[in-house]
Structure 1
Amino acid sequence: MTQAIQSLPITKILPPGNILMTGCSTGIGYHCAKQLHEMGYQVIATCRQQADVTRLNEEGITCFQLDLADSQSIQSALKKVLLATDGKIDALFNNGAFGLPGAVEDLSREAMEYQFQTNVFGTQELTNAVVKIMRQQGHGKIIYNSSILGFAAMQYRGAYNASKFAIEGFADTLRLEIKQDNIQVSLIEPGPILSEFRKNAYEQFKRWIKMDESAHQAKYQAMVKRLETVGPSVPFTLGPEAVSKCVVHALQNNKAKIRYRVTVPTIVFAYLKRILPNRWLDVLLVKAGGDGKR
């Protein structure tokens, strides 16, 4: 099953010809933006930081500043995007997101709101605006970058788990509601992918979690070692190209897959969730998460 994802056929460019992408500063978003640009797509990338916007524009990729946590920033960026594309958006890749590690009981209301502002509220606000554009033009493709954690929760990732569960709920519902409008909705569910995700998550952990006051302090110490690891920290880690192949497949096929499961862990746990009793699955999820070590 993994091999099938790795060898998804890449054919000539088919409509859509332009694609709006969020979270393109590093990792999956940056790799996808570069590849699609090189393939001839009109890529409209977005980043939260102006320095990253400048860098991508210097590399020849059209890029605008967009902070998903800021509604005004979303509306401002969308206006610029529409000017650059003559009012059309053929595809949207919702990639922008971050992780906020920590035990659920250690998450303040402010921390949870902070996580959801970007991963859920901003992402769906942008999507809702783009849906209206796609309906008017008579076609469109919306791709959400979810996660294995969008259907299989693991310890000390509660805020991120919940945000990805929420995104999957929105995506599945939206797909049913706009099917008649010739707008396709797909979810990509990656497992471990090489990126700066852990580095950024560690910064959020230090900002929001009071480690010294937590009942989970010992587990946090192991988790911090993982977050500080450079390179792969778990088996079956793939590069960002594994996700970009799915994005290309979704763009180039008349009937994109509803779900693209990327990496062995995602495929295995999707299967186990269907067949195992919940308590058995809990045991495996604890082992997979390594009490924060993995």
Structure 2
Amino acid sequence: MQNILITGCSSGIGLETALFLQKNGIKVYASAREQKDVKMLEDLGLKAFKIDVRNKDEISFALNCILKEDKKLDCVFNNAGFAVPGAVEDINTDILKELFDTNFFGLHEVTTQAMRVFRGQGYGKIIQHSSVLGIISLRFRGAYNSSKYAIEGLCDTLRLETLDSNIFISTINTGPVTSKFRENSLKNFKKHINIENSFWKSSYEKELKARLESSDDKGIFTLPPSSVANVVLEIIKSKKPKPRYYVTKATYILGFAKRVLSQKWLDKLLQKV
């Protein structure tokens, strides 16, 4: 039986993927940052660890427990992450560092610790949850954009460094997927952005805040979290998984636009998205 460690399983894509994989015969080790969420995962019948990806010791403990029980680790799915919407000029540097600590440096720590296991056993798969925002940029998404672009660069390099091995690196570039991501992003926006004193106050009120507060999470491009879970299962079962997997039509459309349009025309398009 193949096994997998998944980060960020408290809700949404992480939770759905953990439950889906377990139903499909994969031994799942789920994880969450808060102990109450770990208990929730255990109550759902999942093996679970408390992992804040910023904590090296919690990552090491989980990996050691998995190796002690299974003598191997087949796959890691780095899913933990969050967003702080707002214009680049309104994002406090300390908040940007906090976001990178989870979205990028935490992912890097999980990746490097898993790589030591994979190098030792001679095989393994690392799946990084990236985004369409790791391919193109949108206004008011600068912090999140930056972290996802960093992931893309890291994975492109790591993939080159593992080409002659049986270790595979894949990124999943998701577009809009039903989850608590929008709800959590709105909380972070209200907490960290000084709307009243911003040059972008009018745009925040008319565009961003209204979109984040919208209860409609079922747009024509929006897919359920099972769409990501299916891709993760596909990667696990594949002998030679692809470097990149697109999820949602928005990712395909914007990815295509990035390839064929000049930067000038791409900017004009993205300004309207």
What TM-score range do you get, normalising by the shorter chain? Answer: over 0.9
TM-score by length of 1: 0.89
**Residue 90 of structure 2, aligned match among 100, 106, 116:** 106
CA deviation after TM superposition for structure 1 residue 215, in Å? 0.5
CA deviation after TM superposition for structure 1 residue 245, in Å? 1.3
Q: Does 1:123 align with 2:121?
A: no
**Residue 45 of structure 1, aligned match among 20, 23, 30:** 30
% of aligned pairs identical?
42
CA contact (8 A) 1:194 1:231 kept: no
Counterpart mapping for 1:154-233 below 5 A: 154-221=138-205, 222-232=207-217
CA deviation after TM superposition for structure 1 residue 100, in Å? 0.9
Q: Does 1:134 align with 2:118?
A: yes
CA deviation after TM superposition for structure 1 residue 138, in Å? 1.2
Runs of 4 or more above 4 Å deviation: none
Q: Partner residue of 1:248?
A: 233
Q: Partner residue of 1:292?
A: none
Q: Distance in 1 between matches of 2:234 and 2:62?
A: 27
Q: Distance in 2 between matches of 1:230 and 1:18?
A: 36
Q: Partner residue of 1:64?
A: 49
**Residue 220 of structure 2, aligned match among 235, 255, 265:** 235
Q: Partner residue of 2:249?
A: 264
Q: Distance in 2 between matches of 1:112 and 1:234?
A: 29
Moved more, 217-226 or 115-124: 217-226
CA deviation after TM superposition for structure 1 residue 171, in Å? 0.7
CA deviation after TM superposition for structure 1 residue 233, in Å? 6.1
Does the residue aligned with 1:181 lie in a helix, a strand or coil? coil
Q: Which amino acid is the alignment partner of residue 52 of structure 1?
A: D
Q: Which amino acid is the alignment partner of residue 179 of structure 1?
A: L
The number of aligned residues is 272
Q: Distance in 1 between matches of 2:53 and 2:215?
A: 27
Q: Distance in 2 between matches of 1:182 and 1:25?
A: 31
TM-score by length of 2: 0.96
Q: Distance in 1 between matches of 2:196 and 2:220?
A: 30
Q: Distance in 1 between matches of 2:216 and 2:229?
A: 19
Q: What is the aligned-residue RMSD (CA, Å)?
A: 1.4
Runs (5+) with no aligned partner, structure 1: 1-14, 289-294
Q: Which amino acid is the alignment partner of residue 114 of structure 1?
A: E
Q: Which amino acid is the alignment partner of residue 254 of structure 1?
A: K
